[in-house]
Amino acid sequence: MPRAQLKIAILISGRGSNLQALIDQFGPGVAASPIEIVLVLSNRPDAFGLTRAVRAGIPTQVIDHKNFAERASFDAAMDQAIRAAGAELVVLAGFLRLLSDGFIAGWQDRLVNIHPALLPAFKGLDTHARALAAGVRFHGCTVHFVRPEMDSGPIIAQAAVPVRPDDTAESLGRRVLAAEHRLFPQTLRLIAEGKVSVVDERAVIRDTAFAGGVLCNPIGS
């Protein structure tokens, strides 16, 4: 008997390039998709990602954080909308708001983020410039389950790209973003297929083709 589609809500704040990568893989009309995107939610009414979702025929909602006096009430409004949509997994795809501990606890091991660095290195912002300043040879991106500490939680998968001698933050960022667009759908597919679990705060992948959780292409990137 085929596994039911995993219903996900995607949270965004901006242009939604990672959202588009997920729409391309799992959006309406994609045959045999293991995922149904039931909601795209933004805290910014001008986020271009909302236009991407509308074009794909995916329900959208705006909950503007500026209309709330405190973070907890904003998160509560989001939580209500997400649950009303029937989502089983919440996906942060460029969502630029810190979430409250209560929201994170309510979606324990069902809340996933992608970060533009190889965690635990370079948490926070300006990751590409900081990687260049540190002189690292590889940089990349990480998909992880979310915990209350910023950019922390069990690491599910990572993709690495080389740092070139002539790189700028912009050129390095473009290659990392291309890696994100490959890694994020692949990781969510594993989750939807029931191949990812958390054991003692470590993500375990049960897939022989992706057991290491690493996507590395240092020559072609």
- Sign for the CA dihedral angle at 48, 50, 54, 56 comes to positive
Which residues have a catalytic role annotated?
Answer: 115
DSSP for 100-163, written as a single string: PHHHHHHTTTSEEEEESS-TTSS-SS-HHHHHHHHT-SEEEEEEEE--SSTT-S-EEEEEEEEP
Tokens of 44: 């910014």
Distance CA 44, CA 57 (A): 19
